[in-house]
Amino acid sequence: MQISTAVQEKENNWLTILVTVVGIIVGIVLVGVVLARMGLLNGLRGGGTTAVSPGTILYTTEKMQFGQEVMRVEAGEPITLELDNKDMYGHSFDVDELGWHVQMPANDQVSAEFTAVPPGTYTIYCAVPGHREAGMVATLIVEP
């Protein structure tokens, strides 16, 4: 028995449409996974503002730069840092001499608590490869 050309064309069209729809769905899911992994969906959570208590320093990153070039703190005082990464990729907040190393996820905020001792001038930088070289460097001054 021979299948007519019209029936074969209908079956081929149906299969083509099915494969196309499945491909589109898979593509949408993959784009969603990539966006989620990059942290691009974090900003959709709402809010956008952070209440900062006394003794807390809000420290931002945006456009591959630290928002504040100099941070001053007093030696021996507890410090709470609210690290706000406004970029669509991860950063870090590092002060090697004091052992401070905090990951800053893309488009997210994290808190970190430290005590700054001893007095001196220290380098703050982003340890993500290439970011320090791109200018993500600031100065921490611990005053006596």
**Domain coordinates of the chain in residue numbers?**
5-38, 52-143
Q: What is the pLDDT of residue 56?
A: 84
Non-local (6+) Cβ contacts of 8 within 8 A are: none
Tokens representing residue 37 in the block: 């992994």
Q: What is the pLDDT of residue 27?
A: 87
Q: In this structure, what are the phi and psi dihedrals at residue 18, rounded to the nearest 5 degrees?
A: -60, -45
Q: What is the pLDDT of residue 2?
A: 56
Closest CA to 136 of 90, 75, 73: 90
Spatial distance between the Cα atoms of 108 and 103, rounded to a whole number of angstroms: 10
Other Cβ atoms less than 10 A from the Cβ of 136: the count is: 22
Q: What is the pLDDT of residue 97?
A: 93
Q: What is the pLDDT of residue 54?
A: 54
Class of domain 52-143: mainly beta
Give me the average pLDDT of each 10-residue run along the chain (144 residues): 59 82 89 63 43 70 91 89 93 94 95 89 96 94 91
pLDDT digits (tens, 9 = 90+) for 65-77: 998 999 998 898 8
- Tell if the pTM clears 0.85, that is, is over it: no
